[in-house]
Each structure stands twice: as structure tokens, then as C-alpha cells.
């Protein structure tokens, strides 16, 4: 009898296989409920899920959200004239219609919406009689030549050139602030959460498509967080297609591997059941799918296939010893349930460490991945062997398994030399060199975005082309850092406050990476100059409080209702990680030096402030998360194998993968950000499976008295093929993401492909070399102790 036949059946094994109809019935009932729930899952995300709500910058921004209406979640629509400029009757009429159309789209903060057609956009000039002013587009505008000439003059006097109006006068912008939730038009007592995908589609259909068709001389460009997220959600359709491609590839490779259609279908179906259960549980708990958590069904499928292959391989080997499919399934269950459970528990604990990161989408990804691992325990470790106990393995597969078990394998014999006393030290030296090289090059890895625009999308995407248009045609960048100046009520108009704000603006404008800075001081200085016949000598702040009060009266929108908060808008060249770090450091230094009782400079709002906060959270969480994931996985391995040496053999190859993964990201110019940080942790969680399966088999053969090299050869014969197949199969499946229209999905696909393959290589190559130096056969403790 074989070693695993000699072991008595555990309580769990008897419970499962003595009640197989009940197991299938329970799974069927769960499937009916969770399949229905999975069918209700919809794309879902929100502004607040994408940002670190616990960071001080974000808390400051949210605390003053009402005072910063135009500086939060805003969309900018640029309406450009292909020929001529904006001063034509046809252009202005199209702009008016677009303004009115956008005004009535649900979710728009109508009171703060701004364009040339907004009454709040005004012009001011100094005359011999004093100040004069009015609406940029007056009530008397009728589209005539005289009205257009008056409009041109008003625009020049409005200070909006470079802001709402392009520097070349060939386009103008509609600023559209959004509300995260708004009242249901049919039932005012209900609140509706802004649907980014729906909103994005309305902008495309009601604005871009409609008005570009209506006026062929008009070209529309749309940028903003909501539009970017809408485009990302649209990209999920393509990702879903890649999921079906991955299923097809896996099905073909599994059929080649198992040589059995029944077991191939059983593995794929039980794994798809796990994916459906995971999606159903997500919806039951109130979650949806966002562009980042779309990764989770792929992970669940990948992990499920990995464990399914091990199960089928084990059943095929056991079928070589018995013709009864029930006995074969029970023998495989007896041999593989504990290492499979340990691997899945390690996966789950590793994924849970992502909860340490204070960003909603990452935490939801962690919850989704942990749920997926939990359901795999039922579907692939329990339901799959029960199903095979009924279906059995084809005679062709059994015959192949028997031949494989009895014949010599030159390839596995060659790989077994990794455990050879001569080869093992060479492997260790190569690994140390790789660690050194990876750590050295990995120093170039940056936190945050490394490109302009939306790095989540391709450089040639419509969104990034629209963003380039706005950057190239307007003086005010789309990347804005907002520093909030807090005072006592009515304190923002005091000279000391304005002088400090003026000093802050000067410091920021002389900081590398800053285009310009704007605040109520900008308007006050212009007003004081105007009150003194336009003399440049008077373009400064007056110490006379009455003069200051009069000057800031024209700075409407640059301070709140009781003049206790005034924002300083700092326009940046871009939102690259280095730019943000440099600018935020300068602003923080100024705030620390100038904060005092009654005057406080508070960071930060604007999209650049949000990006800076996110980068800080990721930078502080990255090391903590990695330490936590390795500590958790190491603890699970130590608890199971009761051996520090065994734990090191499993964990050290994963450490090498993480180091080389960071170096690869640095080489490819991929920053550590919301999209890529989870991949680092997930790579460790999934990669540990290979080492656990290999070591558990290796330990079994070593306990039978075999030498390390012979034990490793037998391990490769029994489970090495399954490990190698799983690594290659999963890598091919996720490699399809490289062709995604969403760049961060392509980056994820590339990183996961590398990690799947390199974790497999590390387990096969480095684990036996480490075992040569760390494992003492006479001190081994079995992982499969009798129940």
C-alpha cells in the first residue's frame, strides 16, 4: 500500500464522501442564490472610494467642501472652433446650447457651473468715472457684428483669457462641478449616487456626438475625474472579453494536460462556480465592480485553476493504484486537502493585509479576493473531488498517469539537479546576485504617476488627447493644488492675512513645477491698481482696511460667505510624483513657518492635493503591507510545517520575486499607485501556492528515507508538472491583458504574468537549493499528520 493509503481517513473526509449527494445539493442551493445575486452586479465606483479618506489633506478638503465648490470633482468641457475663433454667431449659439444641455444633466452642481454664458462671469475696467463692469455676455447680445465685437472687448477685460477662454481665442471652457449624490427628480426624499458611467455616456451622446454633428466646425474635448472613470468602466467590457479568452486558453491547455474531457470540464466549471459565488457575495454585501476590483474574478479563476490542476493530477495518480473513482478521489483528497487549505489560507491572509491601505477601492479588492479564496475551499477542494468521484477519470488519462509514474523522466531528472550538492550553491549565489541587482535597480521605483494626463489610459486615448488639448491651449493647468487659508470670521480681508497669502503665492510661483498661483490677492492688487488710474506702482496691497474691503469685493468666489476661508490655487505643470512631492514640500514648509493664532495655511484640495495624499498613503503603506503579507504567509507556513527551515524554503523565493518585480516596474516606468500596489501583495499570495505544494510532497518523500535529490525528483514527477503547467497556463491567461485599452490593466497583466512565471521558477529552482542547506531530514515533521 502507498503511504497516503496507509493514513486513516480524517473526519472531514468521511463527512464529505459519505454524504456526497448532500454536498452536491448544498452547493446547488448556494449556486441558485448566489448566481441570482451575481447577475445583479453592476459597475460601481465613487469619488470617495478612490481617495484616502483618513489622510489629513482629504479630511481638510471634505471639511470645507461647501467652500470649495469648484475645486473638487469637476468636469471641464472645452468647445473649440476648427476654423476661425469663438467670436462668431454660430459658435456662440452652439456654446449656449451646450451650456443649457449640460445644466440639466443629473448630478451637475448647477449653482456653481460656469461658462461665458454664466451671469457670474463678469468683466471690470477702470474709467474716468471709476470702475465699470457687467456680464461678459450682456443681456443685449444678439449675435450681430457689434455684439460680437463688444463680447471680444468684454472677454479681454474679464481676466478669463487662459482660464475660461483659450489663449488663441479658438476655444472656451464650461466648468461643470458635480455632486456625489443628488435628489431623485421623481422623489425628492431619495438620494441618488452619481453614476459615472451613465454620466460619461450622457456627455458623449448629448454633448460631443450631438453638437459635433450639429455644427461641423465645432470640436469638443472633455476632461475630469468623472469622465476618466467613465472611460475606465467602459473598458471593463474589453476586460470581460479577455476573461472569456482566458477561459478558452485554459480549457485547451487543461485538456492537453489531463487528456480527459470530463475532468477538464469539471475543473473549469467548478472554478467558474467559484467566480460566480464570489460575485454574488460581493453584491449581497453591497459592493459592485469598479475598474480596479475587476481584477478579482481573474484572480479567483487563476487560483481555482491552480488548485483544480493539483486535484486532478492527484486523482489521476491515485487512479493508477485503483480503478474505483471514489477511492481515487478520496486518496487525492487525503493527500492534498491540507496543503491546499494551507495555500488558500495563506492567500486569504495575504489579501487581507491590503485592508491596511486606507483607500476604498483597494479595501474592496481585498474583501473581494478574500471572499473568492473562501469559496474556492468549497468548490475546488471539496466539490471538485466529489464531482470526479462520480464522473471518474478517462482510461486514457489513467493509462497516461500510470506510464508517467513508472517511467524515467529525463527532464525531471535534469531539474532534480537543482538539489544537487554541487548545483545548489551555484543557485544560491545566482539568487543573491539577482537580489543585489534587483535592490539596486529597484531604487529607481517611484511612487505615483510618472506621466501627464490619465496614466490609467493609453497615451493615444481620447481622454488623454483631450487633456493634451487643454494643457496646450490654456494658461491654467488641469492639475491644481489648493492651499486653504483659514482665519477668524471676516479675517481673510485683513492686511496681515492678505500679505501672508501674497508671500505664499510668490514662494509657490518660484517653485519648480508651478505654472502660476491665483487667489483673492490677485484680484485685490488688480483692483487697487485700477482705483489709482491703472498705475503699476499701485499694484500692491494697501494697509488701509477700507481700501482692502473695497478691493476684495470684486473677488467673488475666492473666499467663503463669512470670509473665514480663502483658497490659494496653485497651477502645476503636471501631477507627476516628483512634481507633487517638490511642490507639497514647499507649501508645507511655508505653512509650518507661518501658521499662527488666527491664521492657518491648510493643505490641500484640488486634484493635485488628492494625488499628493494618495501618494503619501501608498508610500507609507507599501512597506507596512509587504511586511504584513510576508509575516502572515510565513506564520501560516510555520504553523503548518512547524519548521523555520521549511518556511524559509517557501518564502525566500517569493522575496526574490518581489524584489525583481519592483525592478521590472522601475525599468518599465510603472509607478507604485492605486492600480499597481495590490498586484505586489497578490503576487505573493498566489505565488506561495507553488512552494507549499512542492514542499509538502518533498517532505513526504524525505520522510520515507530518500536522499534530497531523489526525493525532489519524485516530487517533480508527482506535482512538478502540475506546478509548471499552472504557472504557464495562468501567465498566458493574464498576458491577454497586455492588449487592453486600459493601460493600468495592461500593466497589471504584465506584472502578474511575470509574477506567475517567476514564482513558478523560484519554487522549482530555488526551493530545492535552499532545502539542501536548511533541511535536516531526520528532524522533519509531517504536514499530513493523522487526523
Minimum mean pLDDT range among 394-408, 472-486, 520-534, 743-757: 394-408
Mean pLDDT of the 301-325 span: 80
Instruction: Dump pLDDT digits (tens) for 462-512.
Output: 988 998 898 888 877 778 889 999 988 888 888 888 889 999 999 999 998
Question: Could you report the per-residue pLDDT of 321-370, keeping only the tens digit for each?
Answer: 777 888 888 888 888 888 888 878 877 877 788 888 888 888 888 888 88
| Numbers of helices and strands, H then E, in the chain | 30, 11
498 φ/ψ sector (left φ>0, alpha ψ -120 to 50, else beta): alpha
406 contacts 755 by C-beta, under 8 angstroms: no
H/E stretch holding 187 = strand 187-193
pLDDT the model gives residue 781: 41
Map grid coordinates 455632486 to a residue: 179
Instruction: Give every CB contact of residue 422 below 8 A, 6+ residues apart in sequence.
Output: none
Can you give the pTM of this predicted structure? 0.78
Pick the CATH number of 411-443+643-786 from 1.20.120.790, 1.20.1640.10, 1.10.10.10, 3.40.50.11540: 1.20.1640.10
Indicate the domain borders of the chain.
1-39+259-407, 56-63+479-612, 73-229, 411-443+643-786
- Topology of domain 1-39+259-407 in CATH is Multidrug efflux transporter AcrB transmembrane fold (1.20.1640)
| Confidence band for 441, pLDDT divided at 50, 70 and 90 | very high
Higher pLDDT, 33 or 743: 33
Q: How confident is the model at residue 767 (pLDDT cuts 50, 70, 90)?
A: very high
Mean pLDDT over residues 188-198, rounded? Answer: 82
157-174: burial string, b at 16+ Cβ within 10 Å, e else? bbbbbebbbbeebbbbbb
What pLDDT, on the 0 to 100 scale, is given for residue 69? 56
Task: Give the pLDDT score at 97.
Answer: 94
Q: So what's the pLDDT on residue 688? A: 81
Q: Which pairs count as long-range contacts for 396-401, CB under 8 Å and 24+ apart, including other chains?
A: 396/259, 396/260, 397/258, 397/259, 397/260, 397/263, 397/316, 397/319, 398/316, 398/319, 398/320, 400/259, 400/316, 401/316, 401/317, 401/319, 401/320
**C-alpha to C-alpha distance for 284 and 278, rounded to whole angstroms:** 10
Q: In what order do the strands lie in the sheet with 565-572?
A: 514-518, 565-572, 480-487, 599-605
Whether 411-443+643-786 and 1-39+259-407 are alike in CATH topology: the answer is yes
Given a contact cutoff of 8 angstroms between Cβ atoms, the answer to whether 331 and 322 are in contact is yes
Which range (210-224, 295-309, 560-574) has the least confidence?
295-309
Output the DSSP codes for 654-723.
HHHHHHHHHHHHHHHT--BSTTTHHHHHHHHHHHHHHHHHHHHHHHHHHHTT--HHHHHHHHIIIIIHHH
Whole-angstrom Cα distance, residue 294 to residue 678?
Answer: 12
Arithmetic mean of pLDDT, 655-682: 83
In DSSP notation, 281-342 reads HHHHTT--B-TTTTHHHHHHHHHHHHHHHHHHHHHHHHHTT-S-HHHHHHHHHHHHHHHHHH
The single residue listed with the C-alpha cell 489709482 is: 532
The stretch 426-437 carries a mean pLDDT of 94
Q: At 5, is the pLDDT very low, low, confident or very high (cuts 50, 70, 90)?
A: very low
| Digit-coded pLDDT (tens) for 713-755 | 988 887 887 788 878 877 877 787 788 777 877 888 888 888 8
Arithmetic mean of pLDDT, 582-589: 92
pLDDT confidence of residue 72:
60
Give φ, ψ of 266 to 5 degrees.
-60, -45
Average pLDDT over residues 248-265: 84
Q: What confidence tier does 58 reach under pLDDT thresholds 50, 70, 90?
A: confident
What is the enclosing helix (H) or strand (E) of 568?
A: strand 565-572
SS3 174: strand
* Mean pLDDT (the chain, rounded): 84
Q: Which three cell numbers, joined as nine digits, stand for 322?
A: 485503483
pLDDT at res. 401: 66
223-239 mean pLDDT: 81
**For position 110, what pLDDT does the model report?**
86
Q: Which residue has the higher pLDDT, 79 or 234?
A: 79
Least confident stretch, 354-358, 458-462, 783-787: 783-787
pLDDT band for position 216 (cuts 50, 70, 90):
very high
Amino acid at each position: 500500500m502507498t503511504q497516503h493509503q496507509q493514513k486513516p481517513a480524517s473526519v472531514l473526509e468521511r463527512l464529505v464522501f459519505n454524504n456526497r449527494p448532500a454536498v452536491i445539493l448544498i452547493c446547488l442551493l448556494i449556486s441558485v442564490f448566489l448566481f441570482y445575486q451575481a447577475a445583479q452586479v453592476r459597475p460601481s465606483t465613487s469619488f470617495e472610494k478612490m481617495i484616502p479618506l483618513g489622510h489629513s489633506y482629504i479630511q481638510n478638503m471634505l471639511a470645507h467642501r461647501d467652500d470649495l465648490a469648484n475645486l473638487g470633482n469637476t468636469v471641464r468641457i472645452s468647445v473649440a472652433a476648427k476654423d476661425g475663433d469663438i467670436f462668431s454667431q454660430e459658435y456662440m449659439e452652439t456654446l449656449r446650447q451646450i451650456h443649457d444641455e449640460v445644466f440639466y444633466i443629473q448630478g451637475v452642481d448647477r449653482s456653481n457651473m460656469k461658462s461665458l454664458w454664466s451671469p457670474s462671469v463678469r468683466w471690470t475696467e477702470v474709467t474716468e468715472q471709476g470702475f465699470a463692469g457687467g456680464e461678459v455676455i450682456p443681456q443685449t447680445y444678439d449675435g450681430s457684428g457689434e455684439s460680437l465685437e463688444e463680447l471680444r472687448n468684454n472677454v479681454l477685460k474679464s481676466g478669463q483669457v487662459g482660464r475660461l477662454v483659450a489663449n488663441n481665442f479658438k476655444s472656451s471652457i464650461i466648468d461643470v462641478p458635480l455632486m456625489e449624490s443628488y435628489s431623485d427628480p421623481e422623489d425628492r426624499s431619495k438620494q441618488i449616487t452619481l453614476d459615472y458611467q451613465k454620466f460619461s455616456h450622457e456627455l458623449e451622446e448629448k454633448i460631443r456626438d450631438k453638437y459635433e454633428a450639429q455644427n461641423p466646425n465645432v470640436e469638443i474635448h472633455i476632461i475630469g475625474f468623472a469622465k476618466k472613470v467613465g472611460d475606465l468602466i467602459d473598458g471593463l467590457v474589453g476586460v470581460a472579453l479577455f476573461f472569456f479568452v482566458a477561459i478558452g486558453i485554459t480549457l485547451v491547455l487543461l485538456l492537453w494536460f489531463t487528456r480527459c474531457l470530463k475532468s477538464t470540464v469539471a475543473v473549469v466549471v467548478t472554478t467558474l462556480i467559484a467566480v460566480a459565488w464570489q460575485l454574488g457575495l460581493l453584491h449581497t454585501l453591497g459592493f459592485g465592480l469598479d475598474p480596479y476590483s475587476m481584477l478579482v474574478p481573474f484572480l479567483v479563476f487563476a487560483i481555482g485553476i491552480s488548485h483544480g490542476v493539483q486535484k486532478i493530477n492527484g486523482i489521476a495518480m491515485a487512479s493508477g493504484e485503483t480503478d474505483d473513482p471514489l477511492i481515487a478521489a478520496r486518496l487525492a483528497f487525503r493527500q492534498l486537502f491540507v496543503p491546499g487549505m494551507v495555500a488558500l489560507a495563506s492567500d486569504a491572509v495575504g489579501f487581507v493585509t491590503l485592508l491596511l491601505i486606507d483607500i476604498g477601492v483597494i479595501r474592496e479588492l481585498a474583501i473581494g479576493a478574500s471572499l473568492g479564496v473562501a469559496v474556492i475551499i468549497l468548490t475546488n477542494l471539496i466539490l471538485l473531488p466529489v464531482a470526479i468521484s462520480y464522473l471518474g477519470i478517462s482510461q486514457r488519462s489513467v493509462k497516461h498517469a500510470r506510464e508517467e509514474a513508472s517511467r524515467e523522466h529525463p527532464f525531471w531528472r535534469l531539474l532534480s539537479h537543482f538539489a544537487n550538492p554541487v548545483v545548489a550553491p551555484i543557485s544560491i549565489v545566482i539568487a543573491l546576485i539577482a537580489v543585489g541587482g534587483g535592490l539596486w535597480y529597484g531604487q529607481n521605483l517611484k511612487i505615483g504617476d510618472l506621466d501627464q494626463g490619465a496614466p490609467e489610459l493609453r497615451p493615444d486615448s481620447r481622454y488623454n488627447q483631450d487633456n493634451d488639448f487643454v494643457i496646450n491651449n490654456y494658461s491654467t493647468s488641469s492639475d491644481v493644488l489648493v492651499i486653504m487659508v483659514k482665519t477668524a470670521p471676516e479675517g481673510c480681508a485683513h492686511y496681515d492675512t492678505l500679505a501672508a497669502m501674497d508671500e505664499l503665492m510668490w514662494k509657490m510661483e518660484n517653485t519648480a513645477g508651478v505654472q502660476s498661483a491665483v487667489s483673492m490677492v490677485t484680484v485685490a492688487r488688480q483692483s487697487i491698481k485700477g482705483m489709482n488710474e491703472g498705475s503699476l506702482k499701485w499694484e500692491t496691497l494697501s494697509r488701509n482696511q477700507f481700501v482692502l474691503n473695497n478691493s476684495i469685493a470684486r473677488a467673488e468666489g475666492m473666499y467663503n460667505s463669512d470670509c473665514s476661508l480663502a483658497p490659494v490655487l496653485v497651477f502645476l505643470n503636471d501631477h507627476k510624483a516628483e512634481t507633487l512631492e517638490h511642490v507639497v514640500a514647499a507649501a508645507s514648509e511655508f505653512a509650518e513657518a507661518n501658521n499662527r493664532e488666527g491664521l492657518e495655511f491648510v493643505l490641500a484640495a484640488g486634484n493635485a492635493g488628492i494625488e499628493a495624499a494618495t501618494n503619501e498613503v501608498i508610500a507609507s503603506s507599501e512597506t507596512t503591507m509587504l511586511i504584513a503579507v510576508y509575516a502572515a504567509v510565513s506564520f501560516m507556513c510555520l504553523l503548518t510545517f512547524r519548521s523555520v527551515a521549511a518556511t524559509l524554503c517557501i518564502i525566500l523565493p517569493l522575496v526574490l520575486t518581489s524584489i525583481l518585480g519592483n525592478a521590472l516596474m522601475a525599468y518599465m516606468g510603472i509607478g507604485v499607485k492605486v492600480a499597481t500596489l495590490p498586484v505586489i501583495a497578490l503576487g505573493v499570495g498566489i505565488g506561495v501556492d507553488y512552494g507549499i505544494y512542492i514542499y509538502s510532497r518533498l517532505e513526504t518523500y524525505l520522510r520515507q528515507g530518500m536522499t534530497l535529490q531523489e526525493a525532489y525528483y519524485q516530487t517533480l514527477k508527482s506535482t512538478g508538472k502540475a506546478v509548471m503547467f499552472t504557472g504557464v497556463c495562468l501567465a498566458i491567461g493574464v498576458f491577454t491583458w497586455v492588449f487592453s485599452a486600459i493601460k493600468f490593466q495592461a500593466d497589471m497583466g504584465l506584472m502578474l504574468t511575470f509574477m506567475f512565471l517567476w514564482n513558478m521558477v523560484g519554487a522549482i529552482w530555488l526551493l530545492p537549493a535552499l532545502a539542501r542547506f536548511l533541511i535536516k531530514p531526520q528532524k522533519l515533521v509531517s504536514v499530513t499528520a493523522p487526523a
